Amino acid sequence: MIDIDDLLPAATEADVRVLHERLAERAATDGILDVAYRTLDTPVGTLLLAATERGLVRVAFDGEGHEAVLAALAARISPRVLEAPKRLDTAAQEIEEYFAGRRHTFDVPLDLSLSSGFRRQVLDHLPDIAYGHTASYATVAALAGSPRAVRAVGTACATNPLPVVVPCHRVVRSDGSFGGYRGGPEAKRTLLELEATA
C-alpha cells in the first residue's frame, strides 16, 4: 500500500513561512485582514503588537497571555486575525528605537477603538506627560476634566490597550510610588529607568 505522505516532499520551516507570508499578503490585498499581529522581543519581555487598517490597536505583555489577547481581539474587533508582521513594521521599528533611547514620542497611527468614554479621555492626555517625567493620577484626572476621578484614571491606565506607546507607565501615585501597571511592577520600573537615563 502506498502512503500519500511518502509521495509528497516534506515541507520545511522555510516553506511554511513563505506560504504564511503569501497568505498574509493575499488577505491584505483582498481586504480581509482585519487584525494583523506580530511579536517583538524587548527589555520588558516579548510584546504582542496588533493593528487594524486604522493603526496600532493593541500592545500586550507576556503576562497577559498573547493567545488570550488575540482571542479577545477576535471577539471585539473581528475574527479575521492573522500573523502578518509587515503591517506592524513601522510600529516595531518605533518601539525598538524607543528602547534604544533614540525615540521619545511615537508617530505610528493609533486605533483607540478598544477604549471609550472617560478611559479614552485619559488615554488622549497621557502623551502630554513628557518623556522622562511623571504625573500623578490626580494630575491626569484634572487634565481629563474630572479632578475627583482619580480611581477612574487608575482603571483607565490599567486597561490601556497600548502600553509603552500610550505612556501610562508615567502615571504614579501622589507620593511618587509606582502604583499598578499592566505589565507588572518590573516592567514599569524598567520603562521609567530607561527614560530617566536617556
**What dotted CATH number matches 117-197?**
1.10.10.10
List, for residues 127-183, the tens digit of each pLDDT value: 999 999 999 999 999 998 898 989 999 999 999 999 999 999 999 998 888 888 899
DSSP 65-117: -HHHHHHHHHHHT-S-EEE-GGGGHHHHHHHHHHHTT--SS--S-B--TT--H
Please tell me the class of the 4-99 domain.
Answer: alpha beta
The total of other beta-carbon atoms located within 10 Å of residue 12's CB is 9
| C-alpha cell of residue 79 | 475574527
CA distance 39 to 92: 9
**CA nearest 35: which of 97, 66, 94, 78?**
78
List, for residues 85-106, the tens digit of each pLDDT value: 999 999 999 999 999 999 999 9
Are the C-beta atoms of residues 17 and 74 closer than 8 Å to each other? no
Catalytic residues, which ones? 168
Q: Where are the domains of the chain?
A: 4-99, 117-197
Reported as type and span, the H/E element at residue 50 is strand 45-51
List, for residues 29-47, the tens digit of each pLDDT value: 656 679 999 999 999 999 9
